[in-house]
Amino acid sequence: MSVFAAGISLSTLDANLDAPVWTSARLPSWHLIAVLAGTAAVAVTAGYLGRGEPDQPPSADARPPLLRLKEGERTVWVSRVTNPWLAAGAAAAGAGVCVLIVLRFIGSGTGAVPGVTLPVLVLVLVLGLLSASVSVRVSGDGVAIGFGPFGWPVRRIRLPKIDLALSETRHPSQVGGWGFRGLPGSATIMLRGGDCLIIRYRSGGQLAISIDDAARGASLINALIAERVEQ
């Protein structure tokens, strides 16, 4: 996100260097393509470099947390975490979108620069909303991970796909920064350092989510898996 914002700022500055007034500035289309390509390249590189060391398999005597459920009891665990900096960035982008819409409505927001800046700010707003907060719900149906303030879109993980769940302390420096990090099969949703819910798949991959009260969520997942096996 920071690379994207810096690239757009530099591109806008370059477009205005030789223009007598800002309304005469023209932003070449290849600038936006270069910024998007550079942002994608940095994101992929950061995800690769920040993947960390291979996860150590649990020792034979290590036991994952397990919640004791009474017979016939149905339990649901819900938790949510928000990154205030990403939320503030989304709010700033939203304010910028409102300003440009008002300027265009009164006839002052015409020209190439506002025309390019508006969709860029809309994109930043959408990405910021989706990545600023995450919620996790654990129930007998599996694990549901909701993104954004409204918990949508939702990623669902069925219990048969999960081997076990753990709670670990992880920090952004260990996974390459904040946001959605890593590669498929070993991904991390990192919104703040601290407790993380680790979901290990039967296929060998894993997903880490920074979330409050992760130990309780992991213990419920393991209890639901054990209950399913007994049935």
- Give residue-wise pLDDT tens across range 36-95: 666 666 655 655 554 444 444 544 445 566 666 667 677 899 999 998 888 888 888 888
CATH number of the structural domain 64-81+134-230: 2.30.29.30
Kindly report the pTM of this predicted structure: 0.67
- Give residue-wise pLDDT tens across range 180-209: 887 767 889 999 899 999 999 998 899 999
Provide the 10 A C-beta neighbour count for residue 172: 17
- Give residue-wise pLDDT tens across range 202-231: 988 999 999 999 999 999 999 999 876 555
Q: In the chain, where are the structural domains located?
A: 2-47, 64-81+134-230, 86-130
